[in-house]
């Protein structure tokens, strides 16, 4: 009875704490500019099913996709068992879902096999990160101590959670065998493990069973509250982020409406610029800090898995330039947490100090210059390779573009050569310094033979 | 265009030449090749000539939204003034901008890249590539332009155009959606690259040369410049040539008068 009550309190606290953390993140995301995204619900649902649930974009690299798929499916199926654990914990029942009969048997079998495969996958992932050191997972100024530790914590926790599950099942089977009863369900892995379990001491078996049970569920609660401070938060954010992703062609960049009004007024003096809504100030052109980005761009930052697929395909990064699309996204998250309210538990994402060692940033406390330098931004070829590569549909390019706009429109801080190009377009109608009157010269002599 | 208008005629298509097509010495050949194809097929087309101006693409990608919209609205005024419905261009940057970014500023046209247009002509049997002997067995690799491919999903049209040449079409390690930028997009064309280990066009050229192709086919003026520079940098300009797909078709059709 006391343990049921204790379990109930822990459950409520864990879920409550998580909800509280989510509210903080929500507020951080709402630091961003408003952006209306409500069109094409059916196309968005389709994307959600394919890209988020179906992990379509993961399959650009088959091996990580298969391993990730195991962990993902394992996570989904094990949630059914978590449901049983919560029912058992609150009501003091034992294996409350066993009334499902053959369905339960199948479920437990699948669960055990997946748990075993998850352990294997996590071990391979650990090897990739720590032994073979896959470059995209370990290199780059943004992959410092914390992101590396974070990844290892996640993988080790998942292994421990699965081992706890096996110790619970194994001890439970053994206790039932000793008792001469049969345990509902089928346990292919624990069934093998039970043979190697020599002890017949009932109290130590009970201790093993309940410690496995508690470790598993407390671990899950702890993990739940670890998520908001971790890249592992993608298991939640991937879904809304994909739903709200850009549906237009990748080459279509946003149009700034206030500039449209200004130019219309310039071209036609009778044009009436619509007044700003009451109480709003004119917006900056482009983005200097997180509040100048849209909420979707900030949501991107909380969705980032730090997998580095964007940086790995970035032509600027490949050829040794400073730009790393992943860094831009991680910078945005770090700055958001600095500026807004931090996730409750801890705020390990700050890494400005370490970044300074490689990237020259100023003391200015804004996203632009405080975290992201103009040199990074100007290296971008806007080729959309990063956007194409991202498994959770982050639009790294749109944030880069907003910051470029700020540099050009608010600070007139474009590289000199680009200012020359602007002048040529203004004066000659071409980015090169040619006379507009020569525009038809290509046709000279062309029709001589024909006509 | 003004001439046609004066005669009270309307063209089937407007050929948007683009700044590179009008001014870049190498790319003028592409413009001429495409025009020869149009003339050869008797397609009623027009160009804006002196009334054409930069679409504003480089300004937009560099972050100068103000200059971009200024260019866009001026161009839209001209295009709408001539009641233009259908625009064809050989430049993926012009194509992307007019197709995707002009509509919200009042410019709504059917915009087609010349690769798609050539593919249509081939499908309709209008271009037959005279036996395809000129390129038979030659090794050609196609370089995807970011603003044609990833930006707008046009991957197959240029490849199908090349397929009619009966050549040996080989793919680079990174192609289609995974293609590597030539290094000129996002207004990089007009500035020195940021410091790094290597220039992007060299990286891409190495990949193209690794296929063993003797012809690198492109469908974008920027890509053509970058890859030609890359080939020169590798001292391969005698063995390896960079051509636009329109030039290859014109040459196969013996239209390179």
What pLDDT, on the 0 to 100 scale, is given for residue A347? 60
* Residue B182 and residue B226 in contact, taking contact as beta carbons nearer than 8 Å: yes
Q: Do residue A115 and residue A212 come from a single domain? A: yes
A419 — contact with chain B (CB < 8 Å)? no
The burial class, CB within 10 Å (0-12 / 13-18 / 19+), for B243 is buried
Query: What residue has token string 């310039």?
Result: A266
Q: Do residue A418 and residue A316 come from a single domain? A: yes
- Which residue of A36, A139, A251 to mutate against B (max B Cβ within 10 Å)? A251
* Residue A264 and residue A272 in contact, taking contact as beta carbons nearer than 8 Å: no
Please state whether the predicted TM-score (pTM) of the whole model is above 0.90.
yes
From the CB of residue A135, how many other CB atoms can be counted at a distance below 10 Å? 12
pLDDT in tens, chain B (257 residues): 677 777 778 899 999 999 999 999 999 999 999 999 999 999 999 999 999 999 999 999 999 999 999 999 999 999 999 999 999 999 999 999 999 999 999 999 999 999 999 999 999 999 887 665 778 889 999 999 999 999 999 999 999 999 999 899 999 999 999 999 999 999 999 999 999 999 999 999 999 999 999 999 999 999 999 999 999 999 999 999 999 999 999 998 888 75
Q: Do residue A79 and residue A163 come from a single domain? A: yes
3-state secondary structure of A428: helix
Note the pLDDT tens digit of each residue in A174-194.
Answer: 999 999 988 888 999 999 999
Sheet containing strand B45-46, strands side by side: B45-46, B13-16, B86-89, B110-113
A393 located within any domain: yes
Q: Do residue A207 and residue A329 come from a single domain? A: no
A405 — contact with chain B (CB < 8 Å)? yes
ipTM entry: 0.96
A436 — contact with chain B (CB < 8 Å)? yes
Q: Does residue A448 surpass a pLDDT of 80?
A: no
Separation of alpha carbons A279 and A282, rounded Å: 10
How close, in Å, is residue A281 to chain B by CA atoms? 19
Instruction: Indicate which CATH number applies to the domain containing A407.
Output: 1.10.1060
A215 located within any domain: yes
* Residue A202 and residue A319 in contact, taking contact as beta carbons nearer than 8 Å: no
**Helices and strands per DSSP (H, E), number in chain A:** 20, 0
The burial class, CB within 10 Å (0-12 / 13-18 / 19+), for A29 is buried
A251 located within any domain: no
Whose CA is closest to B56, among B102, B22, B108, B111?
B102
| CA distances (Å), origin A42, targets A127, A244, A392, B194 | 41, 12, 18, 42
* Residue A137 and residue A174 in contact, taking contact as beta carbons nearer than 8 Å: no
**Which structure tokens are listed for B132?**
């395809």
Residues 380-399 (A) with a CB less than 8 A from some CB of B: 380-385, 387-388
What pLDDT, on the 0 to 100 scale, is given for residue B132? 58
Q: Do residue A64 and residue A193 come from a single domain? A: yes
Total domains in the fold of chain A: 2
Question: Which chain A residue is nearest to residue B66, measuring alpha carbons?
Answer: A259
- Which residue of B22, B89, B185 to mutate against A (max A Cβ within 10 Å)? B22
Beta pairing partners, B87: B14, B111
Q: Do residue A209 and residue A80 come from a single domain? A: yes
What pLDDT, on the 0 to 100 scale, is given for residue A113? 96
* Residue A399 and residue A65 in contact, taking contact as beta carbons nearer than 8 Å: no
A246 located within any domain: no
- Given CA atoms B122, B127, B130, B136 in this order, what sign does their dihedral have? negative
What pLDDT, on the 0 to 100 scale, is given for residue B128? 84
Look at strands B45-46 and B13-16 and give their pairing. Answer: parallel
A22 located within any domain: no
What pLDDT, on the 0 to 100 scale, is given for residue A380? 98
Show the domains of chain B with their CATH numbers: 1-118 (3.40.50), 129-253 (3.40.50)
Q: Do residue A215 and residue A297 come from a single domain? A: no
CA dihedral A29, A31, A36, A37 (to 10 degrees): -10
Separation of alpha carbons B138 and B115, rounded Å: 20
Q: Which residues of A283-308 are buried (b: 16+ CB within 10 A; e: fewer)?
A: ebbbbbbbbbbbbbbbbbbbbbbbbb
A450 located within any domain: no
Q: Do residue A350 and residue A311 come from a single domain? A: yes
Beta pairing partners, B13: B45
* Residue A362 and residue A213 in contact, taking contact as beta carbons nearer than 8 Å: no
Q: Do residue A75 and residue A174 come from a single domain? A: yes
3-state secondary structure of A121: helix
Q: Does residue A349 surpass a pLDDT of 60?
A: no
Q: Do residue A291 and residue A203 come from a single domain? A: no
Q: Do residue A225 and residue A291 come from a single domain? A: no
A242 located within any domain: no
A321 — contact with chain B (CB < 8 Å)? yes
What pLDDT, on the 0 to 100 scale, is given for residue A451? 38
Contact at CB, A385 and B150, closer than 8 angstroms: yes
Domain extent for A151? 57-229
Cα R_g (chain B), whole angstroms: 18
Beta pairing partners, B218: B244
**Which structure tokens are listed for A34?**
């408003």
Q: What is the mean pLDDT of chain A?
A: 91
A318 located within any domain: yes
Looking at residue A372, the DSSP 8-state letter turns out to be B
More confident site: B173 or A278 = B173
Note the pLDDT tens digit of each residue in A361-394.
Answer: 566 789 998 889 999 999 999 999 999 999 999 9
Q: Do residue A415 and residue A296 come from a single domain? A: yes
From the CB of residue B130, how many other CB atoms can be counted at a distance below 10 Å? 11
Select from B73, B152, B181 the Cβ nearest to the Cβ of A381.
B181
């Amino acid at each position: 009875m006391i343990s049921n009550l204790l379990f109930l309190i822990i459950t409520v606290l864990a879920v409550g704490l998580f909800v509280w953390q989510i509210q903080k993140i929500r507020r951080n995301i709402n630091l961003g500019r408003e952006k209306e995204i409500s069109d094409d619900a059916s196309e968005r649902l389709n994307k959600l099913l394919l890209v988020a649930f179906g992990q379509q974009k993961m399959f650009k690299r088959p091996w990580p996709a298969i391993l990730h798929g195991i962990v993902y499916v394992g996570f989904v199926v094990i949630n059914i068992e978590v449901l049983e654990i919560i029912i058992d914990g609150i009501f003091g029942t034992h294996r409350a879902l066993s009334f499902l009969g053959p369905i339960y048997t199948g479920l437990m079998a699948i669960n055990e096999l997946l748990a075993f495969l998850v352990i294997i996958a996590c071990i391979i992932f650990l090897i990739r990160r720590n032994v073979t050191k896959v470059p995209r997972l370990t290199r780059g100024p943004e992959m410092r101590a914390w992101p590396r530790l974070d990844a290892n914590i996640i993988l080790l926790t998942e292994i421990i959670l699965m081992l706890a599950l096996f110790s619970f099942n194994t001890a439970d089977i053994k206790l039932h065998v000793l008792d001469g009863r049969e345990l509902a369900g089928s346990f292919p892995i624990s069934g093998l493990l039970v043979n190697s379990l020599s002890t017949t001491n009932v109290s130590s078996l009970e201790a093993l069973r309940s410690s496995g049970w508690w470790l598993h569920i407390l671990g899950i609660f702890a993990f739940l509250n670890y998520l908001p401070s971790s890249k592992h938060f993608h298991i939640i954010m991937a879904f809304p982020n994909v739903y709200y992703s850009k549906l237009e062609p990748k080459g279509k960049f946003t149009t700034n409406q206030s500039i449209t009004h200004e130019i219309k007024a310039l071209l036609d003096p009778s044009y009436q610029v619509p007044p700003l809504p009451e109480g709003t100030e004119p917006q900056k052109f482009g983005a200097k800090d997180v509040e100048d980005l849209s909420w979707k761009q900030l949501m991107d930052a909380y969705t980032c898995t730090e997998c580095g697929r964007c940086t790995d395909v970035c032509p600027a990064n490949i050829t040794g330039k400073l730009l790393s699309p992943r860094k831009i996204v991680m910078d945005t998250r770090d700055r958001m947490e600095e500026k807004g309210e931090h996730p409750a538990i801890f705020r390990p994402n700050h890494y400005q100090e370490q970044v300074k060692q490689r990237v020259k940033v100023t003391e200015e406390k804004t996203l632009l210059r405080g975290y992201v330098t103009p040199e990074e931004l100007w290296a971008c070829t806007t080729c959309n390779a990063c956007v194409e590569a991202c498994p959770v549909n982050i639009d790294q390019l749109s944030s880069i573009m907003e910051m470029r706009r700020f540099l050009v429109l608010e600070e007139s801080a474009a590289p000199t050569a680009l200012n020359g190009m602007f002048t040529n377009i203004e004066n000659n109608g071409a980015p090169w310094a040619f006379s507009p009157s020569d525009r038809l010269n290509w046709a000279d002599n062309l029709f001589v033979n024909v006509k | 265009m003004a001439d046609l208008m004066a005669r009270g005629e309307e063209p089937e298509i407007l050929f948007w030449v683009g700044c590179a097509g009008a001014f870049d010495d190498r790319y003028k050949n592409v413009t001429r090749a495409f025009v020869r194809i149009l003339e050869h097929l008797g397609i009623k087309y027009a160009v804006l000539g002196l009334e054409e101006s930069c679409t504003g693409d480089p300004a937009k990608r560099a972050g100068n939204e103000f200059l971009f919209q200024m260019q866009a609205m001026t161009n839209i005024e001209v295009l709408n003034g001539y009641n233009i419905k259908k625009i064809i261009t050989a430049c993926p940057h012009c194509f992307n901008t007019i197709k995707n970014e002009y509509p919200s500023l009042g410019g709504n046209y059917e915009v087609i890249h010349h690769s798609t247009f050539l593919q249509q002509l081939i499908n309709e049997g209008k271009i037959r590539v005279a036996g395809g002997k000129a390129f038979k067995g030659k090794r050609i690799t196609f370089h995807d332009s970011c603003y044609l491919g990833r930006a707008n999903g046009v991957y197959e049209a240029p490849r199908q155009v090349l397929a009619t040449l009966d050549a040996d079409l080989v793919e680079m390690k990174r192609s289609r959606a995974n293609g590597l930028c030539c290094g000129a997009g996002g207004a990089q064309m007009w500035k020195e690259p940021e410091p790094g280990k290597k220039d992007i066009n060299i990286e891409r050229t190495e990949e193209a040369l690794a296929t063993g192709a003797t012809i690198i086919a492109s469908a974008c003026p920027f890509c053509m410049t970058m890859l030609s520079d890359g080939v020169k940098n590798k001292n391969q300009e005698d063995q390896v040539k960079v051509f636009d797909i329109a030039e290859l078709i014109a040459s196969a059709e013996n239209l390179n008068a």
